[in-house]
Amino acid sequence: MPQYHPPLRDMHFVLHELLNVTDELKMLPKHADIDAATINAVLEEAGKFAAEIVFPINLSGDQEGCTLDNASHAVTAPKGFKQAYAKYVEGGWPALSTDPAYGGQGLPLVLNQCLYEMLNSANQAWTMYPGLSHGAYECLHAHGTPEQKATYLPKLTSGIWTGTMCLTEPHCGTDLGMLRTKAEPQADGTYKITGEKIFISAGEHDLAENIIHLVLARLPDAPAGSKGISLFVVPKFKVNADGSLGERNAIHAAALEHKMGIHGNATCQMVLEGATGTLVGQPHKGLAAMFVMMNAARLGVGNQSLGLTEVAYQNAVAYAKDRIQMRSLSGPKAPDKPADPIIVHPDVRKMLLTARAYAEGGRALACYAAMLLDKELNSDDEEERQECADLVALLTPIIKAFFTDNGWLATSHCMQVFGGHGYIKQSGMEQFVRDARINMIYEGTNTIQSLDLLGRKVLGDNGKKLKKFGKLIAEFVENEGTDEAMQEFVNPLADLGDKVTKLTTELGMKAFGNADEVGAAAVDYLRICGHLVFAFFFARSAKIALAKQGSGDPFYTAKLATARFYFAKLLPETAGLIRSARAGVAPLMAMDEALF
């Protein structure tokens, strides 16, 4: 059976030593009273909830899955899911970082980030229920009317109600400009919404008394394409004027998707047959409003793979230390046993360290992005808010795509460590691989994220956002460039930074002649940028570890070893990626379609 131990020591390192979050947050009036003791206490309790309540129902939830009653359209989640959610609500976890004006605790988003990493390690399928609700809360908090906020936000904050986002349809996938769902205005100011939505995670379930759907649809006078999309809030049960639940709305689950992974989450085909909804934001501006939830979801999906990378790594390490097989090539390491533990073999170590490095690098970046969001939302300095917003915009597609690519690779490596035992269900490893695979697809495929990064976030503003992150790297390189002990980290970081600058300029020039050059290079480019960001955080981590390795704490010795592994074994991937990006579109388009 699999195991999970919350990585609290590394979280403390990231928050208190690498990012100094208490000092950073104290500069914000909203979080002036935050302290390390509060942060650590919340993390400890969050870890207990994840490991003791949510993790034990992960394997069973995957095996049982969700069930749909075709007559009533009711969906039942796996055994234990409803009870775990009730404890989640009872513990006040949905309200952790939400607005006190609606019953929230108002704690920093960076703390919520750590909570969700642990929940995703424990049970990604279960975590999607509250995770989507948090995104719905953010969207309505930013764009809802005063009436919508008063009606929905307190219940979403408490967790009594959950939320979804109903975007795509059978014929359009990611191309939401093609959606056909219609919204007909009514005399009372509401709308009758009719259409079909697919791939709706947590679209129907028995965990909460009401489900608040955020639905994209077209008004009768809507222009074609993405500029004609409006956003509506459509509750499963209508809400009376006094806040009590009214009659069932005309939205239901017609079917459940039978998926490769995340079996414990109800992925629904939703049908709306004149369902009553209210407009969120301005007519025809729904996609812009929905991007609040979509961007939150993209960061959340990256966090899902971070969680899976961590839990897969923990189990693979435990197995590698215990499993004996063959002898070390350099001579027996456990002469008292008939074979050596497989952790002595170099390639097993490479697989383990790959997963460890991607988990630690991901944790640093995810917490950094969450801290930027805290500043963007709460700083009194308009310039600082914009600076943080630009960096979050740049980093969001990297977190979504780089983390999920790495998570697929890491969970696969960790399953490989188990050999044949990883391929059977009892070990739990094959579930981590299956669950990880969806993360590269939903909330905008990783190619979509790559196009967003290169096309919109970099070339779209002539590299303005990229230069802001590049400035952080340049300052670090300048400050540490004379430290002999830091050369093994600073030199490759500076070199890659220069190469990214040159590659970006080259791709921009090519794109002027042929826009397909962006599509040809985008996936390689995002992965290169992902490594650049990870290298920056590993170099900063190495600086701290070098200064404290004499403390006797083995944590810093391990942190330094992981950083050295990353720079020696993982960062060199960028050389091949740069060559591939520069090869351009010609090799991809040369073959006639008839020859495929």
Would you call 593 a catalytic residue per the annotation?
Answer: no
Q: How far apart are CA 369 and CA 377, in angstroms?
A: 12
Angle between helices 516-548 and 464-480 (to 10 degrees): 30
The residue whose two tokens read 């959606």 is 179
Task: Give how far the C-alpha of residue 95 lies from the chain's centroid of Cα atoms, to the nearest Å.
Answer: 19
3-state secondary structure of 11: helix
Fill in the amino acid letter for 31: H
Q: Are 571 and 539 in contact (CB under 8 A)?
A: no
| Torsions phi, psi for 160 (to 5 deg) | -65, -35
Of 11, 216, 20, 30, nearest to 115 (Cα)? Answer: 11
Q: Are 429 and 2 in contact (CB under 8 A)?
A: yes
3-state secondary structure of 239: strand
Catalytic residue from among 204, 310, 443, 517: 443
3-state secondary structure of 229: strand
Q: How far apart are CA 521 and CA 524, in angstroms?
A: 6
Residue 196 has which token pair?
């079909």
Q: How far apart are CA 296 and CA 109, in angstroms?
A: 11
How big is the chain by its Cα radius of gyration, in Å? Answer: 24
Phi-psi region of 428 (alpha: psi -120 to 50; beta: other; left: phi over 0): left
Q: How far apart are CA 284 and CA 305, in angstroms?
A: 34
Q: How far apart are CA 253 and CA 231, in angstroms?
A: 20
Q: What is the DSSP letter of 222?
A: P
Q: How far apart are CA 441 and CA 461, in angstroms?
A: 27
Q: Are 198 and 169 in contact (CB under 8 A)?
A: yes
Residue 12 has which token pair?
């403390």
The residue whose two tokens read 């906020």 is 149
Exposed/middle/buried for residue 582 (C-beta within 10 Å: 0-12, 13-18, 19+): middle
Q: How far is CA 461 from CA 19, 397, 452, 527, in A?
A: 28, 16, 12, 20
Q: Are 279 and 232 in contact (CB under 8 A)?
A: yes
* Active-site annotation, residues: 443
